[in-house]
């Protein structure tokens, strides 16, 4: 059993602290947000993550997990301190490290004994050295400490499983003994361990997320080509994924990636490259394709409506950037909704857990109580987030309440043949010609290229 302090009670901090407590450690989570800490003490979660609420409450009852706004209280008995604060993107993509700086300074000012400080936040390469310098300069009296980079690889919606059954754990430090001590915290998970220098550990996180984002943008670009050539991207991805060198993961064509990690991390890595005199061509292409994929959905909606959204009503099924989370940061649905409203259309929407966050984020959107209410009198219905509850909707009932029979399946969740059989005019992503406005292969076997549509 170890004594652990976690700085930050956001997504990474709350999951990390709770899981370490569940492994039998004593954990104190520190956050300067008094409202958030007050709610956590009452068992009210600041985020939605399946299984998290029950695990928090269980460990609080067991006395292994506590919450406070006091650094002094959090660091009192701590052997390890995890920095799990936000690193939002600045306008140019550079990661904003003001919260990391503040945490490092507060640790330095309140520590009374030697500590191992672990950067869990996703931070630019070199931040570990920078953090050590800040702590050293901010200490009232010199006290020994070490800094270790331990990047997180948690997926929203499956974070508890990802923490408890990781593919690997990565530790980087100039102090090998400190890195091995942090690795010891994760030893019960029996996952492969990578111990390296601190900058390499920081880079592993960025490279991993950039590669996964690249796979998503790759299959989305292939989906556009499939639409023009009459191929089915789902079968293409299946045929590719069987190859062991490629694999099936992150090859689902759709509306692009979103959330708090991929957009921010790809942009930050590109900014690091630019700052050091390089031209990140592939990373730029990944971001451009992802941005276009959202516009591509808008083009499908406009095409169905004769080229204009003025006075039309569009229904969106799903608002979170992915299922099993309430996170709407850089969510494709919000980009699509804003574009529709900017072009004179109305937007109705429903999401099982994210509507409170959307209400704060996007004014003017009409939030509904269920999917069937969304469908009432809409001109187009768009499936944006593939929540399980949307898979078994009574689509005949949905169609019967719509003003026009237009369905855009931006996640390729539905059976197109079945939807057309019900009576929908169905559009999907990269499945034959249906998404490009071309419905048959010409006699010469070559597809006609649709006329260019105006930019958003």
The residues assigned a catalytic role are: 261
CB-based contacts of 365, cutoff 8 Å, min separation 6? 337, 341, 347, 348, 349, 358, 359
* Residue 91 · residue 50 · CB < 8 Å: no
Query: CA 211, 201, 92: angle at the middle one, nearest 5?
Result: 60
Distance CA 259, CA 132 (A): 30
Give which of 18, 174, 146 is closest to 84, Cα–Cα. Answer: 18
Task: For residue 275, give Cα distances in angstroms to 90, 122, 219, 291, 326.
Answer: 14, 18, 29, 23, 34
Question: Is residue 86 within 8 Å of residue 99, measured between CB atoms?
Answer: yes
Burial class (CB in 10 A: 0-12, 13-18, 19+), 249: exposed
Distance CA 254, CA 411 (A): 5
Among the listed residues 413, 410, 224, the one whose alpha carbon sits nearest the alpha carbon of residue 314: 410
Beta 115-119 vs 80-83: how paired, if at all? parallel
Residue 40 exposure: Cα atoms within 13 Å on the Cβ side: 32
Residues 373/355, Cβ–Cβ less than 8 Å: no
How many Cα atoms within 13 Å fall on the side-chain side of residue 367? 17
């Amino acid at each position: 059993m170890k004594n652990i302090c976690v700085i930050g009670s956001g997504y990474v901090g709350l999951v990390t602290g709770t899981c370490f407590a569940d492994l039998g450690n004593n954990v104190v989570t520190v956050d300067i947000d008094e409202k958030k800490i007050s709610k956590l003490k009452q068992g009210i979660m600041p985020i939605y993550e399946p299984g998290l609420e029950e695990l928090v409450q269980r460990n609080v009852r067991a006395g292994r997990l506590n919450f406070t706004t006091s650094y002094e209280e959090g660091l009192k008995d701590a052997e390890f301190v995890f920095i799990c604060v936000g690193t939002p993107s600045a306008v140019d993509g550079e990661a904003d490290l003001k919260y990391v700086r503040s945490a490092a300074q507060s640790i330095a000012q309140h520590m009374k004994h030697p500590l191992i400080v672990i950067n869990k936040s996703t931070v630019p390469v070199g931040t570990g050295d920078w953090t050590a310098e800040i702590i050293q300069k901010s200490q009232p009296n010199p006290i020994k400490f070490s800094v270790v980079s331990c990047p997180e690889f948690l997926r929203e919606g499956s974070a508890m499983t990802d923490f408890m059954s990781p593919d690997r754990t990565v530790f980087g430090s100039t102090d090998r003994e400190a890195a091995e001590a942090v690795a010891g915290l994760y030893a019960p998970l029996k996952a492969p361990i990578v111990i390296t220098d601190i900058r390499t550990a920081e880079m592993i996180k960025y490279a991993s997320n950039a590669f996964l984002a690249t796979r998503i943008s790759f299959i989305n670009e292939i989906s556009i080509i499939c639409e023009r050539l009459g191929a089915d991207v789902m079968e293409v991805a299946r045929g590719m994924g069987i190859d062991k060198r490629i694999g099936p993961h992150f090859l689902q064509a759709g509306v692009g990636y979103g959330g708090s990690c991929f957009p921010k991390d790809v942009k930050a890595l590109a900014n690091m490259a630019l700052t050091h005199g390089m031209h990140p061509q592939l990373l730029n292409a990944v971001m451009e394709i992802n941005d276009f994929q959202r516009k591509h959905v808008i083009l499908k909606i406009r095409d169905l409506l004769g080229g204009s959204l003025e006075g039309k009503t569009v229904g969106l099924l799903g608002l979170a950037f992915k299922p099993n989370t309430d996170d709407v940061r850089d969510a494709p649905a919000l980009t699509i909704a804003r574009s529709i409203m900017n072009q004179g259309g109305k937007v109705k929407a429903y999401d099982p857990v994210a509507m409170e966050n959307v209400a704060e984020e996007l004014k003017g959107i009409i939030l509904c109580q269920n999917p069937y209410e969304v469908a009432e009198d809409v001109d187009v219905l768009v499936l944006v987030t593939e929540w399980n509850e949307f898979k078994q909707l009574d689509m005949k009932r949905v169609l019967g309440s719509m003003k026009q029979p237009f369905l855009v399946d931006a996640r390729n969740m539905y059976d197109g043949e079945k939807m057309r059989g019900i009576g929908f005019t169905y559009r999907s992503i990269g499945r034959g010609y249906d998404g490009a406005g071309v419905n048959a292969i010409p006699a010469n076997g070559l597809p006609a290229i649709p006329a260019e549509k105006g930019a958003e």
